[in-house]
Structures are given as structure tokens and as C-alpha cells.
Chains A and B, each alone.
Chain A
Amino acid sequence: DADVTQTPRNRITKTGKRIMLECSQTKGHDRMYWYRQDPGLGLRLIYYSFDVKDINKGEISDGYSVSRQAQAKFSLSLESAIPNQTALYFCATSDLPRGSGFYNEQFFGPGTRLTVL
């Protein structure tokens, strides 16, 4: 079974609709992340959470919100979807770093392909 799962895997919706993307992990990691990937732009960080009570905005948080329901679950919401939010969305997790300034590898879910018409 996959360690990081995302639902749905594909979603087509209309402008103005509210959408929630869900992420679950069985790796026992405290840190979770949401990214979007667009052709030619690479991965960009939307939100991240270092534990259940710690949620932070990333590079491109406008138009998005998140909820960390438990250590294992991190949801991303688009309150009112717009066409330029059409993208591939990835959830990721990581373990605590081994020291100040260091960073562990991130483990990614399979992605959600979202299309906003």
C-alpha cells in the first residue's frame, strides 16, 4: 500500500465551485506539504504544516486554504475555483531534520489532476 495517498486522483470542476483535495499518510511524519505543478514552472509550495497546530503559507497560498485534521491528514481547499488553478497537485511528507539548517527528503503522493473549466 502507498505511504502517501491523495484523493481524488482526477477532478474536473467549474469556476466558482468549492473543491477539497485530501491527503493521508502512513509514514508517521509530522511534516506535510501541498504543492502545485504547472508545465514550465516546476513545483511551487502552497502550504505546509510542521505539526497539527503549525500551519504556514507557502509561496502561492492566495486562493487556497488548508486543514490539518490529524498527524496523518492534510487537506487543501479551493474556496472558489478559477481556471488558472488548473494544475497537478501533490501532497508530500517529511521527517524531522537531523539538525539546524538541514532538511530531509520529501515523499510525495501520486498527485491530483485538477481541471477548472
Chain B
Amino acid sequence: RKEVEQDPGPFNVPEGATVAFNCTYSNSASQSFFWYRQDCRKEPKLLMSVYSSGNEDGRFTAQLNRASQYISLLIRDSKLSDSATYLCVVNDWDGGSQGNLIFGKGTKLSVKP
């Protein structure tokens, strides 16, 4: 089974801190990469897609390293509202069929006042 591995945390940080999450994936053929956010007992929601050149959305920066099969998410100036579980998601593609999304187990972030 193709895997997506994440540090489960929890990451406990003060407001204003910068925090980084890492993720590794096993399928070198994967083409689509995402970070999802999941609040407690709620559905996952897309935070951002991850592109080869890296991309930024406000306080959030995502990076992809295909050679190392590694994805990262950086959150700057953490807010209390950033407290959630962050899921690393990769598509499972074998070069033939379309494949599906493989979800990491998530990294829990708790931002304290």
C-alpha cells in the first residue's frame, strides 16, 4: 500500500510562532499534492494545493521536493484559529488508472495564547 507519513504531533506553539509540518510519500509517480485542514469532529477542507515551484497563500507556504518525495507546510505568525489537524494528501497514481487520494494521518496543531 502506498503511504503518506506525517509526524502526528501534537505541536503546541504560542500565538505568533512559526511552525513547520513535514510529510513524506512513497509513490514517486504522484502528481497531485494537497494540504487539508480538519477541525475536531468536522470534515476535512482544502487548505492549499502544492505546486512544484512552491506556493504561498498569506501566512501559509507549501513546498514540494520531488527528488526526496517530501512536502512541507509552513505557518507564520500562528493564530489561535489555526489550531486544527493538518492532513497531507497525495494522489496514488500508477501511470495507468487515475488513482485516488491517499491521506496522511494528520499532524495536530494547538496554538496557545
Using C-beta atoms within 8 Å of the partner chain, give the interface range for chain B.
20 to 34
- Give the one of B1, B42, B98 with max A CB within 10 A: B98
Q: List residues 37-70 of chain A with CB under 8 A from any CB of chain B.
A: 40-43, 45, 48, 50, 58-59
**Interface residue? A88 (CB, 8 A):** yes
Q: In B56-112, which residues have CB < 8 Å from any A CB? A: 87, 91, 93, 95, 98-101, 103-106
Complex contacts, B100 vs chain A, CB 8 Å = 33, 45, 48, 58, 103
Which label, helix, strand, loop or mixed, suits the secondary structure of the B interface? Answer: loop
Beyond A58-B100, A111-B43, is A41–B105 a contact (Cβ under 8 Å)? Answer: yes
Cα distance A43–B29 in the bound complex, in angstroms: 21
Residue of B nearest to A96 (CB): B98
Determine how close the nearest CB of chain A comes to the CB of B31; give it in whole angstroms: 4
Binding site secondary structure of chain A: loop
Q: CA–CA, A97 to B92, complex, Å?
A: 13
Q: Which residues of B contact A101 (CB under 8 A)?
A: 29, 31-32, 91, 93, 95, 98-99
Q: Which residues of A contact B (CB under 8 A)?
A: 33, 40-43, 45, 48, 50, 58-59, 88, 90, 97, 100-111, 113
Given contacts A101-B98, A105-B34, 15 further A-B contacts (CB under 8 A): A40-B105, A42-B87, A42-B104, A43-B103, A45-B100, A58-B100, A59-B1, A90-B44, A97-B32, A101-B32, A101-B91, A101-B95, A103-B91, A106-B101, A111-B43
Chain B residues with a Cβ under 8 A of chain A: 1, 29, 31-32, 34, 41-46, 49, 87, 91, 93, 95, 98-101, 103-106
